[in-house]
Amino acid sequence: MQVKINARKHRTGESLATGAIISAFLLVNLAVLTVLFPDLPIATEPVVAAGFVMGVAALLGSRRWLVEPKPHRVLPEALKGLGKETALYHYYFPVDHVLIAPEGVFSLTTRAQPAAGIIREDRFASTEPLLKRIARGAALLGIGNPVRDAARDAAKAQAWFDRHLPAAGIQVQPVILFIHPGADIYIESCTIPVVYPGKRKPSLKTFIREQKRLSLTAEQIAEVDALLQVKAD
């Protein structure tokens, strides 16, 4: 399998997330100083507001770029053995993870939290204790709405293929992937496939192998690489 990662975008994301964490830390400390020493020529309210905004940015950036397990490390292992005709893209498309395989084209929407819950009628409901849910929400580490996000990711990827390869007739299949080994999700009814990496069932690799959708040829994948300016490893 070909694994293609936009290293520049990934490094930039990590750097921005780290910078946001440092900035939030400094702003919070500065806000404390303005309270302890009111004679300082610094207005407290703007510092507090800036610290709050930067704190939110730090939490969101950390969730996407810094928190383990990282999708671009988990997915290649989960899909190992699919064959050289398969191409896995990280951070190149308008969505983070896209798989092009002989079985079809898939947008992979990941969740890295060790959450427990149920998906019923395309809605996720946590089954964790209330205090843990409050703590996750405060840290912006909640699961959110994975079904809605997966549909949006597929629509973004679909728009890219429709614009750049309209004659290919590709239909992007959304997939939801819980990559944390501690995730415990019960699927009652969901219109989008929900899978896990590795051997845990339902597994991502088994799901991919069971699909029979229109895909891209090797020549079309080379065209995709040219359009995305993919750099050879």
pLDDT value at residue 138:
61
DSSP helix/strand/coil, 177: strand
Judge whether 188 and 118 are in contact, CB under 8 Å: yes
Distance of alpha carbon 62 from alpha carbon 173, whole angstroms: 27
pLDDT value at residue 140:
54
Residue 120: what residue type? R
pLDDT value at residue 191:
95
Percent of the chain with pLDDT over 90: 51
Percent of the chain with pLDDT over 70: 97
pTM across the whole model: 0.87
pLDDT digits (tens, 9 = 90+) for 86-144: 999 999 999 999 999 999 999 999 999 888 889 999 999 888 888 877 776 765 567 88
Residue 64: what residue type? R
pLDDT digits (tens, 9 = 90+) for 32-87: 888 888 887 887 888 888 988 988 888 888 888 888 899 999 999 999 988 888 99
Task: Report whether the peptide linkage leading into residue 202 is cis, meaning its omega lies within 30 degrees of zero.
Answer: yes
pLDDT value at residue 22:
94
Handedness of CA 101, 103, 105, 111 (dihedral sign): negative
pLDDT value at residue 231:
64
Beta strands in 31-139 (DSSP E): 87-90, 97-101, 104-111, 116-120, 123-126
Looking from the CA of 154 toward its CB, the CA atoms found within 13 Å total: 19
Distance of alpha carbon 33 from alpha carbon 191, whole angstroms: 52
Q: For 182-204, b where at least 16 C-beta lie within 10 A, e where not — what string?
A: ebebeeeebebbbbbbeeeeebb
